[in-house]
Amino acid sequence: MSDGKNAAEMKQHSFSAEVGQLLDLVVHSLYSDREIFLRELVANAADAMDKRRFEALTSPALSLPEAPSIHIKADKKAKTITLSDDGLGMSPEELTQNLGTIARSGTKAFGEKLSNAKPEDRPNLIGQFGVGFYSAFMVADKVDVISRRAGEDVAARWVSEGKGSYSLGPAERAHAGTDITLHIKDDAEEFLDPWRLRSIIRKWADHIAWPVVLHEPDEDGKEKEETINEGKALWLRPKSEITSEDYTEFYRHTVRAFDEPYATLHWKAEGTVEFASLLFLPGARPFDFMEQSSRESRIHLHVRRMFITDEANLVPNWLRFVQGVVDTDDLPLNVSREMLQSTPVLARIRKAVTKRVISEVKKRAQEGGEAFTGFWNNFGLVIKEGLWEDSEHRQEIAEFARFHSTHDDELTTLDDYISRMKPEQETIYYLVGDNLNALKASAQLEGFRARGLEVLLLSDAVDSFWPDRLHSYKDKTFRSVAQAHGELEKFAPEAEEQGDAANVEKLTPALKDALGEAVKEVRSTVRLTGSAVVLASEGGPDLAMQRLMRRSGQEMPALPPVLEINPRHPLICALAERAEKGESVAEHARILLDLARVQEGEALPDPSGFARTLAGLLAGTVTA
């Protein structure tokens, strides 16, 4: 530290006009999270270490000391945090240039200087703007910098309270590098706790190449040192050097998970945009996955090993279960490094990452087996969101998507479904509901089963939406069985139908008169073999979609269903005889409609009335 003589020689300077205008903005508006200050200062320290290592290639006298590192020490009594590095350091002139002028970054100038250097010789320079240092004033009311440039004998001190001016003068430092001391504000004392500093480093700078050493007192009051960053950027190492255990350890450390990853994607993209990526398809679904409020991806975006954000949306929302890291040297950032600029580079990274993930899922789907079935059971519901919202990849998703169907209890693909279609069949039939077991027992399926027509059974909420958006697959259109009136007549039953069909010419109008506006129409159907009635929908969303929209609070205009009756069912035959005789079927009509509603899982408009009417009819049957 500087002595009294050096302190007396400190000279006051005004910040450049730009600093005077923007410092308040940097401190109060640029960063949304105060803890970012530590990331920025560690990033600058890492830059300085990289610079010194690079310059030592041509000037051995500038070589780094043995075991170079970045040191952080908090002094609760003095209310200070000091960061020290063994980097290139700054001369007095460079302190003025780099800390006295906003948006003049020593790192940026240094990067321009290296424009003709060989790629393998270039250090990983993180700070591309000159404002990161000023984030220190979010937590400090005074910042004290002592720096000595490698190869020079003198050190200099820079001091400012961030109020329009700074002081500069001579100082003493035993070796090259920089010390930054923050005098912490009263409302930022949380950052004096070693555990808080440790958590920030592990969040933002866990994988930078240089060791970050935290100094803190032990139980005896003596100072101890602990390297708190992981330091290994596993994604930058050759795959040949990494074991499956390494991948699993990294996955668990990064994702905070305990399972084994189902698939590991490790590659380096080269060309117009370069980045390294290490991504994982999880082996288990997180317990709170479906309750998470955000539908956005949480892949970690790094720039030169430094964590920037997990909100870059590097894959579509329907792939949000993908975990891992993407690291690039090419991505321009805005001045705060918290929000990314909308650049073609980021768009190309997103496109390349999404393409690679989809390719891996498709490959795993082709392999099939219990492993992919387990993966689909964990994340298929989310993947199917892509059938609805992702027009670019919709057909690709349809290729590997899995569905339950009436064929058997195993999941099926659309290709397998098509391979089992009847020669004259041009439609992929599906039924949507809330519960798979209820779907399997639905009366809607009776006529399709009788004709050997396979039906997809869709029980997830998103299944109500995507069939209309996908519309067709390999020239086969999708059709809800609830809207397939008349199509079954093209297919002959595989077994002789039981019983004679009643003449319902008088019954159907009688039922319609009794039900009035509650139904759009009453008609005979061949869709039933064992049930008496079923509901159908025409001219709007099918029944499942209507229920979903009502449950979600959306306004749903009244769309009366069609009541279809089975002319071979004994109850319908009996009612047909009553109608032929001119007897009333009004009470029976309401019971039939409510029975059809119950079959569909619909709420009855008058449960008590249904119970009374049904009890009365049963009583009449018993007494008769």
Q: What percent of the chain has pLDDT over 90?
A: 58
pLDDT bracket for residue 294 (50, 70, 90): low
Give the per-residue pLDDT at 495.
76
**What is the number of H-type helices and E-type strands within the chain?**
20, 22
Residue 357 has pLDDT above 90, yes or no: yes
* Per-residue confidence (pLDDT) for residue 334, from 0 to 100: 46
Q: How large is the average pLDDT for residues 240-256?
A: 90
Amino acid occupying residue 169: G
Predicted confidence band at 117 (pLDDT cuts at 50, 70, 90)?
low
Calculate mean pLDDT across residues 136-163: 93
Global pTM value: 0.77
pLDDT per position as a tens digit, 513-563: 999 999 999 999 998 999 999 998 876 667 777 777 666 666 666 688 899
Q: Alpha-carbon distance 280 to 491, whole Å?
A: 47
pLDDT of 557 reads 67
Give me the mean pLDDT over the 440-454 stretch: 93
pLDDT of amino acid 221: 74
Confidence of residue 123 (pLDDT cuts 50, 70, 90): low
- Output the six-digit token pair for 354: 């999404």
Task: Measure Cα distances from 26 to 30, 66, 97, 138, 341 in Å.
Answer: 5, 36, 18, 8, 18
Q: How many CB atoms lie within 10 A of CB 285?
A: 17
- Cβ–Cβ under 8 Å, residues 220 and 185: no
- Model pLDDT for residues 20-54, shown as the tens digit of each residue: 555 666 666 566 688 989 998 998 999 899 999 99
State the average pLDDT for the chain: 86
Mean pLDDT along residues 119-126:
52
pLDDT band at 471, cuts 50/70/90?
very high
DSSP state of 191: G
pLDDT > 50? residue 303: yes
DSSP track, 41-89:
HHHHHHHHHHHHHHHTTT-GGGPPPSS--EEEEEETTTTEEEEEE-S--
Quick: pLDDT tens for 495-519: 777 778 899 999 999 999 999 999 9
Residue 624 pLDDT greater than 50, yes or no:
no
**For 102, left (φ over 0), alpha (ψ -120 to 50), or beta?**
beta
| pLDDT, position 332 | 61
Q: pLDDT tens, 54-107?
A: 999 889 999 999 999 999 999 999 999 999 999 999 999 999 888 866 545 555
Q: Summarize pLDDT for 268-285 with one digit per residue, the tens.
A: 999 889 999 999 999 998
Residue 128 binned pLDDT confidence (cut-offs 50, 70, 90): very low
